[in-house]
Structure 1
């Protein structure tokens, strides 16, 4: 009986290690998708174009919203994995006036009993010039701490609702299934990077 505690500890450690290896392969990113950390400027810009086209297809009214916005920050592939402690990472591009101006990385963490991994695209729409300027002037921007980020919502008519458009910063989270509702991006840390 006394020797069971070390045995249990060894089994738990082995299970956590195996779970960590399993997480590496758990993603909803298609097999031919290029990982965000390896992307160069041309590849990143192509991925941003594809993500925006998908957003426009999935969320009616989002194209007009992005066109009227001061800027849009697109992370085509934010890959996350977790067992007990989770982490997410991705790279993306900021577009102002339809042109890429800078590149950024996003990181986020979580703690809790969760297992699995996934890939998603995150789009931040800066609806006001003030919000965009504040973001660009920051040295490491945190969603929720440096600005309130509202989740994009679709109204009863199937298009982006008017309240979403009026917020300074709006986020949309896309998975392979479509628009993910109820997902918070609060706490995500965004930093400028060089590709």
Structure 2
């Protein structure tokens, strides 16, 4: 095996940045109207494809919608996307979601995710921290047998419920572990 040199590391990082930028997820797009339009479309798709998500949404105190997350990796990997936090259906803040990782990986994918904050405490913790990172305390809604998404009937007891959906690309799986959310001004 060859040692990882600075040149290889730099080339890998540049390739990852190129792949991420090439996927067109709105990086560099500072238009709040476009983000809001994508958020509306994403929620419409979620509610149409997974009708039980409406019940979770009705019980939630706020919703963070990330319409397009682009994830790419070639040795070094990363992801990025932009979205909006809505309370009572009204956008109150805009956020970016980013992550980075190192490991044996190659490929790219895009996906959407929606975080439903089920308690005021979870929402306040999220809004209070600059650079909140997803981790424990999130209950995931996973697709089973095609289009069915199952959420535990006790979803109201989890502080945050996450839907990860609309995956497309040449990477397998998507997780929110280690994704860092940062408030932005579009």
Question: TM-score, normalized by length of structure 1?
Answer: 0.76
> Alpha-carbon deviations, 1:66-118, whole Å to 9, x = none?
12211000111111111011010111100001100000111111221111111
SS in 2 for 1:114: strand
- 1:113-192 alignment, distance < 5 Å: 113-144=104-135, 148-153=137-142, 160-176=151-167, 183-192=174-183
Counterpart contact for 1:154–1:161, Cα < 8 Å? no
RMSD: 3.1
Distance 1:40 1:183 in 2: 26
> Could you tell which deviates more after superposition, 13-22 or 158-167?
13-22
Structure with greater strand percent: 2
Give the structure with higher Rg (CA).
Answer: 1
8 Å contact kept, 1:71–1:96: yes
Aligned to 2:100: 109
Name stretches of at least 5 consecutive residues in structure 1 with no aligned partner: 1-7
- Counterparts of 2:46 and 2:77, CA distance in 1: 26
Aligned length: 178
Gaps of 5+ in 2: none
TM-score w.r.t. the length of structure 2 is 0.79
In structure 2, what is the Cα distance between the partners aligned to 1:173 and 1:108? 16
- Compute the displacement of 1:20 (Å): 7.0
Q: Tell me which residue corresponds to 1:75.
A: 66
- The CA distance in 1 between the partners of 2:161 and 2:122, in whole Å, is 11
Correspondence for 1:41: 32
Change (3 A) 1:159 1:151: closer
What is the deviation of 1:175?
2.4
